[in-house]
Structure 1
């Protein structure tokens, strides 16, 4: 889940980040132990799940002025002793049918002495339609939760018949240390070391059916990558940065034979074919070579867009500092 801090929420207020179909602000009064407020919670949370997912921040008040509608005015903290995280979890779990899998609540402390908090509720896009406690289905539209039409409900319920492909990333840093053996004259050769890093890109199927055809685009800061092997990538400017567009797909090439060459045997490959991705599985990784020092890019974002079979296109982003890193140490002794 995205990390939420008080400083980050204050930045949202200072920068006047407006509500959207993926972001909603709620004052502390939106959380109360009565049926009316509980029904509103179920309505708002289910609307996000039925749409494209998003975040509800309980504890931030909007402006009352009509010309500043949907803009955050100030922090309006929730009393933790009155409304606990467990209480909110129970309301969401018991007042929405079926239960929304993957919903996460992040408590952000405002004051320890006053025991006040902001609750950030992260709601994923669901693979089926969810009904609020008033027996209606809602969606996010024009910054609000509105009832869904019959065809919209049917469309959401059909999400389960589509593959759900998301991209996952891993940085692999490999350190190779070579220890050559002394030559014939007993001269000791200085050990050599080499460190290389690659960005691995996986297409992960988080849906319920397998994906036949997957195509994706990844957008990365060009200076994050080694120039070697990226000359053919499309380049463009975004927010003042030099970016590249990398294209990938779930294709493989089978070995169909071997042929002799001057250095031995060389494999012969057949034409590319699409390799289906089963539910819960991921594709073979694509690899992009990284520069030696990537520390200056830890705050950069990698964004992506995926097309899979008849599913709606999906997109996402990840911050470089949140990408897991695998370190591999290798030692060799040359004779």
Structure 2
């Protein structure tokens, strides 16, 4: 039998908040960034005549200026960051409509981040306008405290505005009994492959990277590098290619060859499918481990469930899990009959 490769990305199960609640959450994610950009532009226009040609844009120990750029670059970068962040968070919030808990958290955190960035950029503009020359401009640490304090207040106010999450459907507790087999002749072989994607992890990666922006703006980009790199890595690992073949079950990132997880056929006692709720069943997303079970959980819904020879369970969330499980059962039976799997 020819190898069957299916590349359609996985999608979550039932839709979450839609209609007025979904629109409200997208607005919570987008509007604060737009308002912050409008405030920054208004402040810039009001103090433009008092700004030095090369205003201070970075402040080191004690809040003293130690980095400078052109006025146009300062305004352009600030507006691009704020509006770009609003567009990105709005799109991610919409895509998370099938996972209402993370959707609400993303919208609220996006609103708070916009407020913190807007506050810090405004403080930088006013510090430059008050200084006799750019090198004497200072932004005290209290401004950062005020920025993050205001962000927390706005996030707290936005939480109830996002509305309540709907009740999640009950998830199955384990593999389906009487696992099916895929009919294969003795001389036939088969392979199955799909790409599973996460709607949550790209949002986590974006938020992590976004958190590095105010850090880089105030403390320097080397200080923000861990957040920026972590955000990029989280986004990179947000998708996985899942393959079932004569080697067993293999999972690799869809955009990189490593890290790779393989469960060989000799370790599989039985394969089935189940429905997974990431938060309720595994406490989150990514590579997860709980008593008696582990797996790669990128989204809610359909999942391959392997009962291992050790008695534990290994799951991978992916569409068409029943086909992959049936193939793995057939191949595992064959491997048990013939040590070389032939």
Question: What interval of TM-score do these two structures reach, taking the shorter chain for normalisation?
Answer: under 0.3
Structure with the bigger percentage of helix: 2
- Higher RCO structure (Cα 8 Å, ≥6 apart): 2
Please give the TM-score of this superposition, normalised by the length of structure 2. Answer: 0.22
Structure with the bigger percentage of strand: 1
Please give the TM-score of this superposition, normalised by the length of structure 1. Answer: 0.22
